Amino acid sequence: TTALDYFQQAKTLDESLKSQWGLGYDHRNIGISLLALGQLEEAEGHFLKAEQISADINNVINWVKALLELGNVNKALLRPDQALGYYERAHELSQRYGIKEVEWRAAAGKATLLREEGKLPDSLTWFTKGFEVVEGMRAALKIDELRNSFQTNKLDLYRDIITLLITMNRTDDAFNFLERSRSRSFIDLLGNQKLSFKNEGDQETWTKINRLASTVDSLKSELGSYEEPPADLQERYRNTKALYEEAILEVKQENPALSSFVSVDPLNLKGVQALLSSRVGLLTYFLTKDQLYLWLITKERTIFKTVSAKEEDLTRLVTRYRQLVQHLEPVGDELEKLYASLIQPVAADIKNLEYLGIIPDGPLHFLSFAALKHGPAYLVDEIPLFYAPSASVFQFTFAKRQAVKNDKVLAIGNPDLGNFNYDLPLAELEAQSIKWNYPNMDILTGKKATKEWVVKNISRYGIIHLAAHGEFDEANPLLSSLWLASENPENRRLTVKEIFGLELNADLVTLSACQTGLGKLEAGELIGLNRAFVYAGTHALVSALWRVDDLSTSVLMKHFYRNYVTANKAKSLRQAQLIVKKDFPHPSYWAGFSLIGDYQ
């Protein structure tokens, strides 16, 4: 039995009950199923019935959704004028009644048609209207409603705008929109999570803003149901909206880090350039179905390139590379092909730089750029690298730089998990070896490396080294975790959700554990342990993209910390990787670790 069969059965039942309300939904659901099956004319008939029935009984929600689907089906039937009319009606009614998910989709539908007609400025105007609605929805969004369709379609909206701006040769503006899109899925993911923020004030502010946003939403919908809304309702709406805007303004001024979760204040291109020192470059990627776009940004200039590379092909190469590298098989061909697409277009310009930052997109999050290869040379041979989920992250990590480092170290190695199969004896030696260079150090191993102690005391340390098992939760990335010791076997996992609640003052956190750098791609962005530690307060992290050999990891970490006494993070990691590469030349041994955040 298919979904269509069930919808037909529901229609038969509602006909016998004479339920016009139910029949409106039945016809729309049948139409959606037929549209998916490519039976367009039949689908249109059901959408017309849904629209007529719902309009007659004033079921506004189903009415505007039916209008939206009529726009979609007429677009598929290559009737742009009719589709445009339906999108405009859906947009006007959904705007009047405060049905935002239809409002932005109708705006995007109209924008797509205008783009296909070559009316690019008009198309941009309507894409922007949809974008503004989405931005306004975010704080009150319920993730369990429209979870898949909202995230997917919203990502399409951002990417449509970026691609349109590139087509219009407005590449600086395209970069600015790309920055706005970078953290959207992460914030959506947080929308229905009860997080423990770093302090009670953050938690209260977060709760207050979500409550006000939800109230504003409800009042706007109520206003839309009246031809002439009552004066007291209008007054309540204005007052509540003013309180919401005041709360947003307050959090922007007093708590920029929390502000990034409730409002979008990304850096524009000029702001990014102002942050960069001379001879530091940022390489930002944007991957579409058939093209790869990249921006190489330095303090003085921006270079924009278009590369003919399909997303499908790059994804296959990255996946193949990860499979080979973890089995210690030859990976030279894959690395050279990736270098040709990702680095070669700007290779001559990179030669003049001292540091290179990478801001990946999509599958490139799972790639170690240090191992990209041309001829006998790897990229790590040429320049120190660092990474970030977006350029705007640097306004937080760079701002936390201190003239005098807090060199008090917490090193955790081989926590006792109650099962010898999980023992990491070299991780314990790894933690001990750091003490040669950092005498002001506390080492916790075995049964002493407890989650309870770490949570209570972690804020005291400037350098935190965690050599423990890591676990990535594909189904719910906020439950990804590090495993620590505890007398309570049920309390051994330090999850991403809990890390958000930590107060970190660390210049550096090293996650020397299995696949700690992994995450889930939510709408193009990687969600996992790295993001949690950045929010919790660290300036920079070193983490692993795959299961790295214990011995080579121990050697790499020893040299990294020895270098870090006198050099910065990016140079220290690069030098350690070069040393390991001499004795362990396969990238599996030395390329798995990457630096996220501040390179200094």
C-beta separation of 541 from 531 below 8 A: no
Q: What local confidence, expressed as pLDDT, does residue 255 receive?
A: 63
Q: What local confidence, expressed as pLDDT, does residue 252 receive?
A: 61
Asked whether the predicted pLDDT for residue 277 surpasses 70, the reply is: yes
Average pLDDT over residues 25-35: 95
Reported confidence tier of residue 496, pLDDT bands at 50, 70, 90: confident
Percent of the chain's residues with pLDDT above 90: 55
Percent of the chain's residues with pLDDT above 70: 85
pLDDT tens sequence across 44-71: 999 999 999 999 999 999 999 999 999 9
Q: What local confidence, expressed as pLDDT, does residue 410 receive?
A: 94
Using DSSP bridges, classify how beta strands 355-359 and 519-522 pair: parallel, antiparallel or unpaired: unpaired
Q: What local confidence, expressed as pLDDT, does residue 212 receive?
A: 82
In 439-554, DSSP assigns E strands to 441-446, 463-467, 470-471, 481-483, 493-495, 508-511, 519-522, 525-528, 540-544
pLDDT tens sequence across 203-237: 677 677 778 877 877 787 777 667 678 888 888 88
The separation between CA 538 and the C-alpha centre of its own chain, rounded to angstroms, equals: 18
Return the structure tokens found at 126. 């309507």
Per mean pLDDT, which range of 84-93, 267-276, 410-419, 471-480 is the poorest? 471-480
3-state SS string for 345-381: HHHHHHCCCCEEEEECCHHHHHCCHHHCEECCEEHHH
Q: What local confidence, expressed as pLDDT, does residue 145 receive?
A: 36
Q: What local confidence, expressed as pLDDT, does residue 227 receive?
A: 66
390 vs 272 pLDDT, higher one: 272
31 vs 136 pLDDT, higher one: 31
Return the amino acid letter for 414.
N
Asked whether the predicted pLDDT for residue 194 surpasses 90, the reply is: no
pLDDT tens sequence across 179-190: 888 755 444 444
Average pLDDT over residues 246-270: 66
C-beta separation of 386 from 570 below 8 A: yes
State how far the Cα of 294 lies from the Cα of 342, in Å rounded to an integer.
8
Q: What local confidence, expressed as pLDDT, does residue 453 receive?
A: 94
Asked whether the predicted pLDDT for residue 477 surpasses 90, the reply is: no
What's the chain's length in residues? 600
Which pTM was predicted?
A: 0.81
Q: What local confidence, expressed as pLDDT, does residue 253 receive?
A: 63
Asked whether the predicted pLDDT for residue 526 surpasses 90, the reply is: no
Q: What local confidence, expressed as pLDDT, does residue 151 receive?
A: 47
Return the amino acid letter for 597.
G
Reported confidence tier of residue 192, pLDDT bands at 50, 70, 90: very low
Q: What local confidence, expressed as pLDDT, does residue 183 receive?
A: 57
Asked whether the predicted pLDDT for residue 463 surpasses 60, the reply is: yes
State how far the Cα of 9 lies from the Cα of 26, in Å rounded to an integer.
9
Using DSSP bridges, classify how beta strands 481-483 and 355-359 pair: parallel, antiparallel or unpaired: unpaired
Question: Of the candidates 234, 224, 192, which has an alpha carbon nearest to the alpha carbon of residue 210?
Answer: 192
State how far the Cα of 61 lies from the Cα of 55, in Å rounded to an integer.
10
Average pLDDT, the chain: 85
C-beta separation of 534 from 541 below 8 A: yes
Return the structure tokens found at 390. 């977006």
Average pLDDT over residues 454-468: 91
Asked whether the predicted pLDDT for residue 485 surpasses 80, the reply is: yes
C-beta separation of 353 from 280 below 8 A: yes
Alpha-carbon dihedral angle through residues 26, 29, 33, 38, given to the nearest 10 degrees: 100
Compute the radius of gyration of the chain from its Cα atoms: 27
State how far the Cα of 412 lies from the Cα of 569, in Å rounded to an integer.
20
Q: What local confidence, expressed as pLDDT, does residue 393 receive?
A: 80
Q: Say which DSSP state 450 is in.
A: B
Q: What local confidence, expressed as pLDDT, does residue 505 receive?
A: 84
Q: What local confidence, expressed as pLDDT, does residue 497 receive?
A: 74
C-beta separation of 527 from 534 below 8 A: no
C-beta separation of 462 from 505 below 8 A: yes
Average pLDDT over residues 309-331: 93
C-beta separation of 77 from 69 below 8 A: no
Backbone angles phi, psi at 368, to 5 degrees: -90, 105
